């Protein structure tokens, strides 16, 4: 029975979405820890790279081919988005169950990347659902910030018991734990309210409303940032393994990344009250670029930890700033579609960055990889700032309505009698000739 209390009715939908999303993140953390000691990381670097490169290419297909077809259909259905979230959870539960018997087989690679695709689809559906479950459009950015914070906390909550199970027993109990959590997340997804009514097909006028330069530039900058995250993730995973780094150092890099993401979520709302969204997004690119230059010069463990921490801060802060900017400059009736569309682009950018790092493993070192990351992020940040400055669009881009015309002036009145000239009294008061 649905409560008629407005406050209860408006808070429950977001709480249900947050609970389903938290289960998804906990399950992903358990799955990641389970794979740490499997063939996924114990193979030789060359063999692992070939497998990862192949299946990263496969992950692009669902977004590039299926997305344009399934996305609009789900957008026009009442329960399409929550159904996609449920499919993502139940699908990963099945994948984790199948992984239990394949930890020492090459079949683990396709299973792992099927889980990755399902996780990306879940993220797209979650981003599209946020505007539909908040009480007011004004709290949309705050809702996204809370979901980001939940992601960080849930990753820690899921990773710790999974790590304990792997250390005491093996990866199989951790995979079963992940499967159980995913099942709970799938059941919770069905409790998320459906959309009020199906959405009509998008028109060309609506697409042009999202083509505001501030949104286009910010979306490009955020895509580069997400691509940098994918590049750095796989670069560190393979190069640290190639260098024979101990397992505890891998864990330290992951902790630094998690702490950086948490710090970005905490600090960004405070920054938004003092600077605009463009400044935060530009800083999220330029500051990691500067740190990446120092990391390239260091080339050691400190540099790897530093760049993992700062890039995580930038990715978290940049995403919150982008959500705020999209809410500020984008039309309200297109928020759901806009968030889903940009999330899909960002996931594609992440996969593209990972593909670049895996493809360049034969010719790239840790220092050159950090230097390349610094160049790309720095160029993107400066181009973003320069593009907005050149168009004088640094700030809100709300359309300004032209001033309403005032009443037309009355025509001059004509008199029938001529008006006499005023008397020429110049100099009369001062007594001087003119």
Q: Does residue 318 lie within any of the structural domains? A: yes
Do 120 and 53 fall into the same domain? yes
- Over pLDDT 90: what percentage of the chain? 25
Higher pLDDT, 113 or 220: 220
Q: What is the DSSP letter of 222?
A: H
Do 132 and 219 fall into the same domain? no
What pLDDT digit, counting tens, does each position of 394-432 carry? 655 544 444 445 455 555 555 445 555 555 554 444 444
What pLDDT digit, counting tens, does each position of 107-160 carry? 787 788 788 778 877 877 787 778 778 776 667 667 877 888 888 889 888 888
Spell 179-215 as b/e; 16+ CB within 10 A means b.
Answer: bbbbbbbbebbeebbebeeebeeeeeeeeebbebebb
- Secondary structure of 381-398 in HEC code, one letter for each residue: HHHHHHHHHHCCCCCCCC
Do 97 and 134 fall into the same domain? yes
Give the pLDDT confidence score for residue 76 in this predicted structure. Answer: 58
Do 245 and 178 fall into the same domain? no
Q: Does residue 430 lie within any of the structural domains? A: no
Looking up residue 46, the CATH number of its domain turns out to be: 1.20.1250.20
Do 223 and 166 fall into the same domain? no
Give the pLDDT confidence score for residue 10 in this predicted structure. Answer: 41
Average pLDDT, integer, range 215-222: 93
What pLDDT digit, counting tens, does each position of 160-180 carry? 888 888 888 888 999 999 999
Q: Does residue 308 lie within any of the structural domains? A: yes
Q: Does residue 44 lie within any of the structural domains? A: yes
What pLDDT digit, counting tens, does each position of 237-257 carry? 888 777 777 767 877 888 888
Q: Does residue 237 lie within any of the structural domains? A: yes
Do 33 and 75 fall into the same domain? yes
Do 245 and 150 fall into the same domain? no
Query: Domain span at residue 319?
Result: 210-396
Do 183 and 243 fall into the same domain? no
Q: Does residue 380 lie within any of the structural domains? A: yes
Do 60 and 181 fall into the same domain? yes
Which ranges constitute the DSSP H helices of 37-170? Answer: 39-42, 45-61, 67-76, 80-99, 108-133, 140-168
Do 31 and 108 fall into the same domain? yes
Give the pLDDT confidence score for residue 59 in this predicted structure. Answer: 57
What pLDDT digit, counting tens, does each position of 26-63 carry? 999 899 888 876 655 665 655 566 666 665 665 565 55
The pTM of this model reads: 0.73
Do 177 and 45 fall into the same domain? yes
What pLDDT digit, counting tens, does each position of 309-324 carry? 999 999 999 998 898 8
What pLDDT digit, counting tens, does each position of 284-316 carry? 999 999 999 999 988 788 889 999 999 999 999
Pick the last residue of a domain from 150, 171, 195. Answer: 195
In the chain, how many domains are there? 2
Q: Does residue 133 lie within any of the structural domains? A: yes
Q: Does residue 289 lie within any of the structural domains? A: yes
Give the pLDDT confidence score for residue 81 in this predicted structure. Answer: 72
């Amino acid at each position: 029975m649905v409560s008629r209390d407005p406050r209860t009715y408006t808070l429950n939908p977001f709480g249900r979405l947050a609970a389903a999303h938290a289960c998804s993140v906990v399950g992903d953390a358990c799955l990641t820890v389970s794979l740490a000691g499997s063939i996924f990381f114990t193979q030789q670097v060359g063999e692992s790279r070939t497998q990862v490169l192949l299946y990263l290419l496969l992950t692009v297909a669902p977004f590039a081919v299926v997305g344009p077809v399934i996305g609009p259909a789900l957008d026009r259905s009442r329960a399409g988005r929550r159904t996609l979230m449920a499919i993502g959870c139940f699908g990963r539960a099945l994948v984790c169950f199948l992984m239990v018997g394949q930890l020492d087989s090459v079949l683990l690679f396709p299973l792992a990347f099927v889980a990755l695709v399902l996780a990306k689809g879940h993220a797209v559906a979650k981003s599209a659902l946020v505007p539909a479950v908040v009480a007011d459009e004004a709290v949309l950015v705050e809702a996204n910030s809370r979901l980001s914070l939940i992601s960080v906390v849930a990753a820690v909550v899921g990773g710790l018991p999974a790590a304990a199970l792997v250390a005491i027993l093996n990866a199989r109990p951790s995979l079963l734990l992940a499967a159980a959590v995913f099942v709970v997340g799938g059941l919770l997804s069905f409790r998320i309210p459906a959309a009020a009514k199906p959405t009509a097909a998008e028109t060309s006028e609506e697409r042009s409303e999202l083509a505001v330069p501030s949104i286009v530039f910010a979306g490009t900058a955020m895509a580069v940032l997400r691509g940098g995250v994918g590049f750095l993730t796989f670069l560190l995973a393979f190069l640290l393994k190639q260098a024979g780094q101990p397992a505890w150092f891998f864990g330290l890099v992951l902790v630094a990344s998690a702490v950086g993401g948490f710090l970005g979520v905490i600090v960004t709302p405070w920054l938004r009250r003092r600077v605009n969204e463009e400044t935060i997004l530009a800083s999220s690119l330029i500051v990691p670029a500067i740190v990446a230059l120092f990391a390239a010069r260091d080339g050691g463990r400190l540099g790897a930890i530093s760049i993992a921490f700062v890039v995580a801060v930038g990715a978290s802060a940049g995403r919150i700033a982008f959500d705020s900017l999209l809410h500020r400059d984008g039309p309200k009736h297109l928020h759901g579609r806009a968030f889903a569309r940009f999330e899909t682009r960002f996931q594609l950018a992440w996969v593209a960055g990972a593909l670049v790092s895996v493809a360049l493993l034969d010719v790239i070192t840790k220092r050159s990889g950090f230097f390349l990351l610094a160049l790309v992020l720095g160029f993107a940040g400066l181009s973003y700032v320069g593009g907005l400055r050149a168009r004088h669009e640094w700030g809100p881009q709300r359309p300004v309505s032209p001033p309403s015309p005032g009443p037309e002036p009355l025509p001059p009145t004509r008199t029938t009698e001529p008006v006499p000239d005023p008397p020429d009294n110049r100099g009369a008061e001062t007594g001087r000739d003119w």
